[in-house]
Structure 1
Amino acid sequence: MLINKSKGFIIFSVTYKEFEKAVETLGLIGVETKEGVKKRYQKLSREFHPDMPEGSTEKFQEINKAYKILIKYIDNFRFRFTKEEFGNQHPFSVDDDSNHHHIAK
């Protein structure tokens, strides 16, 4: 994982191998929200906290690193504002105006 601050921008760089390991470490399968990633992290960090009976400093650090990688990835994700991207994110509502998505303020 590399964080590079240059020209006023923070560039987050992670290899696919690091990303894949982070997903595996948190045991994520399929599609997940940021909140889902956070909940999984909280569960595992409580379970493997060094002060717990099943705790492990090494595993706890691995879980923390995985969480940081995935949250940075989510926070820095770039969206394409196209119909195709919308369809990928909301596959059942691309052409159906009766199936609106409500956005909370």
Structure 2
Amino acid sequence: MNQTIASDSGQLDTLRVHAADNVRVALKDLPAGTLIIDNGQHITLTEAIRHKHKFTLAAFEPGDTVIMYGVTVGRATRPIAQGGRHHYRQYRAQHCQHHTSGETRQLAGA
């Protein structure tokens, strides 16, 4: 039997892919002001988040680590509000660290 993480009935609105992630993925278009609960933490989206786009679980300051899919993908280059849209232009890729194994690899072009 095939299982899916979301269906057209919209049972899940967002997904944290890995426990170490500090961003979540929108599984449908979400308007600004949407309340998200992540492990008991209440997060209000500060802007509309499109389907498949990510938003922050905490406020980021320049230099803060961005973790997606259990992997460090870079450092924030500017402030991002909690519940704000996360975009690749807002961070600089530096290295790739798997948060389950501690393994570190250099990203291409970093």
Shorter-chain TM-score bucket reads: under 0.3
CA radius of gyration, larger in: 1
TM-score w.r.t. length of structure 2: 0.23
TM-score w.r.t. length of structure 1: 0.23
Relative to total residues, which structure has the larger helix share, 1 or 2? Answer: 1
